[in-house]
Amino acid sequence: MGEHRATVIWERGGARFVDNRYSRAHTWHFDGGARVSASASPHSVRTPFSDPAGVDPEEAYVAALSSCHMLWFLSLAAEEGIVVDSYHDEAIAVLERDERGRDAITRAVLRPRIRFSGDRTPAAGDIAALHDEAHRRCFIANSVRTLVTVEEPPRDD
C-alpha cells in the first residue's frame, strides 16, 4: 500500500552533550519539500534545551490523528453529496500514565466545528455516522492504542 517517509535531522553543534545540556531542537523533512521545526516538548525538557516554537512529537501525533480523521470525513461527505465549507478541529491529546505505568498518550479528543452548505444539510445522526466511518477508516487511528473520541460542539446554524 505504500511507504511514507520523513527525515529527522538533529545536530549537536557546540554543546557538550554528555552533561545532558544540549538542544532538542531538530527538523523534520518531508518528500514534498516541507520542513518543520521540531523539538521536545517544554513539558518534558525545560527551555532553553527545548524550543517551544517547534512542533513536539505529542503535538504531531494529535495533529496526525485529527488530519487523518478530517480527510476521511471530507471524502465520505463528498461521496454522500454533502458540501463541507470548512472543518476546524481543536484536537487535544492527553499524556498520562497508562495501565502499565508508562507515560503514554491515552486519549485524544477531536472537536471539529464543521460548516455545511448546499442542498443537503446533514442531520446530527448523519454527521455522527460520517464521524464513525471516518474513524473506522483512518489509518492513524487504526494504528494506535489511544482511545480517540470525537466531540462535535453545538452547531452555529
> Cβ distance 66 to 89 under 8 Å?
yes
Q: Domains plus CATH for the chain?
A: 1-55 (no CATH), 57-150 (3.30.300.20)
Tell me what pLDDT residue 20 has.
85
Instruction: Give the Cβ contact number of residue 128 at 10 Å.
Output: 13
Tell me what pLDDT residue 156 has.
62
- In 3D space, the residue among 67, 119, 114, 121 whose CA is nearest the CA of residue 86 turns out to be 114
Is 147 or 53 the better-scoring residue by pLDDT?
A: 53
Q: What is the pLDDT of residues 2-46, one digit of tens each?
A: 888 899 999 998 888 888 889 999 999 999 999 999 999 998 899
Q: What is the pLDDT of residues 44-100, one digit of tens each?
A: 899 999 999 999 999 999 999 999 999 999 999 999 999 999 999 999 999 999 999
Phi, psi (rounded to 5 degrees) for 9: -125, 125
Q: How far does the chain reach from its first CA to its final CA, in angstroms?
A: 40
Q: Which amino acid, residue 40?
A: A
Those residues whose C-beta lies under 8 Å from the C-beta of residue 38, and which sit 6 or more positions away, are: 8, 25, 26, 27, 28, 54, 55, 56, 57, 60
Grid cell 480517540 is found at 148
Tell me what pLDDT residue 5 has.
87
How far apart are the C-alpha atoms of 90 and 113, rounded to whole Å? 9
